[in-house]
Amino acid sequence: MRQIHLQILMLMVLTCTYTTWVYAATTGEQWVAPAQEKALRRAQAVVPMVKEVKQEGAIRRSQRLHALGVSVRDVKDSYFVLNSPFIKAVEDHYGAVRFNHGQHAAESGDCTICHHLRAKTATPAKNGDKPLETQRCSACHQQAFNPDYPERLGLKAAFHQRCIPCHEQRHKGPQTCRGCHLNNVPDHKKLVKLPDNADALQVTAECLRCHETAANDLQHSAHWLWRGPSTHTQDHENSVRHGKGTTALNNY
Amino acid sequence: MDCLVCHDTTGTYKKAPPKAGWPDKKVNLKYVAENVGHTSRRSCGSCHFNGGGGNAIKHADMGRNLLQPDPDCDIHMGNLDFSCAECHTTRQHRIAGRSSSVAAVEGVVQCADCHSNTPHFGNKLLDHHLNKHCASIDCNTCHSPVYAKCVPTKLWWDWSQAGDKTRQPVMQYFGNSKKGYPDYHVKKGAFRWGRAVKPNYAWFNGDMQRMVLGDAANLNAAAIELTRPVGSILDPKSRITPFKLMKGVQAFDVKYRTLLVPHLFPRGKDDTTAYWKVFDWDKAFADGMRSANLPYSGQFIWKETWMYWRVEHEVMPAKMALTCVNCHQSFRQEKTCDRCHRDNRQVDFKKLAQHVADLTSLQGKIPGIEALQQQSDYIDFKALGYRGDPVIYGGRTTTLPLGRSDTAPTDK
């Protein structure tokens, strides 16, 4: 068994080295993912605040928009990220949240679930402009606890109060914090205490100084044990002994 | 325990080949440790992009091109900058995801986790039909109609040919690329490579049947399947799913019928059994099987082996997906949607049904991709157990209505 393990390990080690080398050789100009880049830029924009909203009951508004023929077909951008400066100005614990706008519009079938009110007059006000039926969340929800608008939720609360109950009631989409939010990793330059010529064992010991639980978790994982539950292998559904380090066969 | 290999963000961390897992002496470990962060395509890829001993050799849909991917090769990573762990969600270092080749599973990842079971939206005429397809067709059947789109992968690996020190490799080329792929390596045998390959389609319910170490094989079979998708046209949970079928030739014990494990890497200078040192299969098998605690009779036979690897990554942009007419040959005929729907002057049925995928941005990038537009019966309905085009003969759950088939499909 050790033999197989060693062979795989050697193969991995060889290829890992090669990867690093190729990567360094090919990184020239800055690569960007176009849609993500666009969404991140858009999330930075701050729009003028809607000061007054049209008072309209939820059902009446839903019926009126349906009668107008407003539907998922009117969705111009199907992908956003939620990463507003209004929230970042107060706290910065998490990365941008992906939001599939088109999918949400299609699943709910009713724009007014999120776009629950609209501006009374066009914002920014221009002569003859009709107010938009739907605007981005941050057109109304900006800083929290703004004394000029005591009835308005801040943007963070608006997101959470809209997203969480809906995901929970419909049993759809992420229902945990980490399902939407990837935490920012704290700057480890301030945390890591290592000598300049630290060796591998010193590094691991230093990681474990804080992350002992993580280390314990890892040692129970398939990536450490090279075996694990084979719940989706026919006739071996109840076993935990199969894996790359134990019984896996292949033809390469 | 090596935290850095997964949590390095600097790209400077690497292991040293002769040191079996220890980092290279040149790496500034303090610098790497001070810059740890979340895993990335690069850190996961440092192992997983190299399965089989090199870039995309084993996993046709995972290669180093995903470090800086073209959106046309992978819409999630290339257009939206997804990392691996955003889909392969992790809890307590247990990483969700099933593998076709390895049995260990720590959670399931499905397209529907984000896209739901009704992923086609827009209230367009087609969406209702496309969403109905989701019950019987895996997303990637349409959304990744070819695998190894951007880099070639190995399709054939004949170990029995290894050891011929006089044989010169012949290079295989793809498209306009000057990079050649050798058909032979003295240590590993003969290969065949493929690029933009049409997958094999099979009914799949999420489980695999697999041979594990020590299992006896049927040596009379023309080819021995090391893994095979479990599923059937009659199983409502099965869906038509694309697979890379990796074929090869490997040695089996004549008496015990087990797949033999060779000892390949020399342990040191005085190793006398490693195949990559002495090029003697008998010695390599005897040593390898001893290490695996399995019997070896001393007699072996070369047999063809097949492995099914699911094509799960490198989803293409929606505009490049297979269209109706790619599979439903009947739509090339006079009647299209109007077989069932009353003719409607506001909708051009023919245009709708005979629409072809927009592959313009792929021309030149993927050799021969344009041919896809002209394909019909792409997934081969008869091979999957249908009597023919389901538009004519009925689907696996529809039988009588609307002049369709009165014969249920059979399990092949």
Contacts of B350-359 with C-beta under 8 Å, sequence gap 24+, read B352/B125, B352/B126, B352/B324, B353/B324, B353/B325, B353/B328, B354/B324, B354/B325, B355/B323, B355/B324, B355/B325, B356/B323, B356/B325, B356/B326, B357/B145, B357/B319, B357/B320, B357/B321, B357/B322, B357/B323, B357/B326, B358/B319, B358/B320, B359/B320
pLDDT for A156 beyond 60: yes
CA B257 to chain A, closest CA, distance in angstroms equals: 14
DSSP for A7-52, written as a single string: HHHHHHHHHHHHHHHHHHHH--SPP--HHHHHHHHHHH--PPPP--
Number of domains composing chain A? 2
Structural domain includes residue A208: yes
Judging contacts by C-beta atoms under 8 Å, the chain B residues touching residue A111 are none
Model-level pTM?
A: 0.90
Judging contacts by C-beta atoms under 8 Å, the chain A residues touching residue B209 are 233-235
pLDDT for A127 beyond 90: no
Show which of A180, A210, A233 is a domain's final residue.
Answer: A180
Judging contacts by C-beta atoms under 8 Å, the chain B residues touching residue A34 are 71, 79
Structural domain includes residue A234: yes
Instruction: Give the number of beta-carbon pairs within 8 Å between A and B.
Output: 273
Which whole-number Å values give the CA distances from B65 to A27, A101, B16, in the listed order?
A: 12, 29, 23
Q: Please give the pLDDT value at position B148.
A: 92
Q: Which 8-state DSSP code applies to residue B345? A: T
How far apart, in Å, do the first and last CA atoms of chain A sit? Answer: 18
Segment A124-143 mean pLDDT: 85
As a whole number of angstroms, the distance between CA B368 and CA B364 comes to 8
pLDDT in tens, B309-340: 999 999 999 999 999 999 999 999 888 888 88
Do A48 and A116 belong together in one domain? yes
Q: Please give the pLDDT value at position A136.
A: 93
The pLDDT > 70 percentage for chain A reads 86
Do A159 and A202 belong together in one domain? no
Structural domain includes residue A16: no
Show which of A180, A212, A229 is a domain's final residue.
Answer: A180
In DSSP terms, which residues pair with B208 in a beta bridge?
A233, B229
Mutate which of B27, B90, B159, B210 to disrupt the A interface (most A C-beta within 10 Å)?
Answer: B210
Mutate which of B2, B8, B15, B261 to disrupt the A interface (most A C-beta within 10 Å)?
Answer: B15
Do A122 and A144 belong together in one domain? yes
CA B83 to chain A, closest CA, distance in angstroms equals: 11
Do A150 and A189 belong together in one domain? no
Segment A225-233 mean pLDDT: 95
* ipTM tops 0.85: yes
Do A99 and A147 belong together in one domain? yes
Alpha helices (H) in B259-363, listed in sequence order? 275-278, 281-291, 324-327, 349-353
Do A140 and A47 belong together in one domain? yes
Structural domain includes residue A194: yes
Structural domain includes residue A168: yes
Report CB contact under 8 Å: B47, A15: yes
Judging contacts by C-beta atoms under 8 Å, the chain B residues touching residue A249 are 210-213, 215, 226, 259
User: Tokens 């292949």 identify what position?
Assistant: A250
Mutate which of B91, B105, B264, B289 to disrupt the A interface (most A C-beta within 10 Å)?
Answer: B105
Segment A194-220 mean pLDDT: 95
CA B114 to chain A, closest CA, distance in angstroms equals: 7
Q: For residue A221, what are the domain limits?
A: 185-246
Nearest Cα residue to A111 out of A164, A140, A51, A68: A68
- Among partner residues A103, A105, A188, which is closest to B115 by beta-carbon distance? A103
Residue scoring higher pLDDT (A27 or A203): A203
Structural domain includes residue A118: yes
Q: Which 8-state DSSP code applies to residue B168? A: P
Structural domain includes residue A6: no
Domain at A76, CATH number: 3.90.10.10
- Among partner residues A36, A100, A217, which is closest to B92 by beta-carbon distance? A217
Nearest Cα residue to A3 out of B215, B75, B289, B386: B289
Q: Both tokens of residue B9?
A: 């963000």
The verdict on whether omega for the bond into residue B182 sits within 30 degrees of 0, i.e. cis, is no
Report CB contact under 8 Å: A194, B207: no
Report CB contact under 8 Å: A234, B209: yes
CA B375 to chain A, closest CA, distance in angstroms equals: 30
Whether B210 contacts B201, CB under 8 Å: no
Mutate which of A4, A19, A237 to disrupt the B interface (most B C-beta within 10 Å)?
Answer: A19
Alpha-carbon radius of gyration of chain A = 26
Structural domain includes residue A7: no
pLDDT for A11 beyond 60: no
Judging contacts by C-beta atoms under 8 Å, the chain B residues touching residue A172 are 116
Whether A246 contacts B213, CB under 8 Å: yes
As a whole number of angstroms, the distance between CA B346 and CA B106 comes to 51
Report CB contact under 8 Å: B29, A11: no
Do A157 and A191 belong together in one domain? no
Q: Please give the pLDDT value at position B402.
A: 54
Do A237 and A119 belong together in one domain? no
pLDDT in tens, chain B (412 residues): 899 999 999 999 998 876 678 999 999 999 999 999 999 999 999 999 998 889 999 999 999 999 999 999 999 999 999 999 999 999 999 999 999 989 999 999 999 999 988 899 876 778 999 999 999 999 999 999 999 988 999 999 999 999 999 999 999 998 888 999 999 999 999 999 999 999 999 999 999 999 999 999 999 999 999 999 999 999 999 999 999 999 999 999 999 999 999 999 998 899 999 999 999 999 999 999 999 999 999 999 999 999 999 999 999 999 999 999 999 999 998 888 888 888 777 888 999 899 888 888 777 777 777 788 888 899 999 999 998 999 888 888 765 455 444 455 555 4
Judging contacts by C-beta atoms under 8 Å, the chain B residues touching residue A195 are 30
Do A92 and A207 belong together in one domain? no
Segment A5-24 mean pLDDT: 43
Do A92 and A195 belong together in one domain? no
Q: Please give the pLDDT value at position B375.
A: 85
Task: For residue A14, give the chain B residue with the closest CA.
Answer: B17
CB neighbours of B154 closer than 8 A, spacing ≥ 6?
A252, B52, B57, B58, B191, B192, B193, B194, B246
Q: Both tokens of residue B160?
A: 């029995």
CA B311 to chain A, closest CA, distance in angstroms equals: 17
The distance of Cα B166 from the centroid of its chain, to the nearest Å, equals 33
Show which of A135, A158, A180 is a domain's final residue.
Answer: A180
Report CB contact under 8 Å: A200, B29: yes
Q: Please give the pLDDT value at position B395.
A: 85
Task: For residue B18, give the chain A residue with the closest CA.
Answer: A10
Do A79 and A159 belong together in one domain? yes
Do A170 and A191 belong together in one domain? no
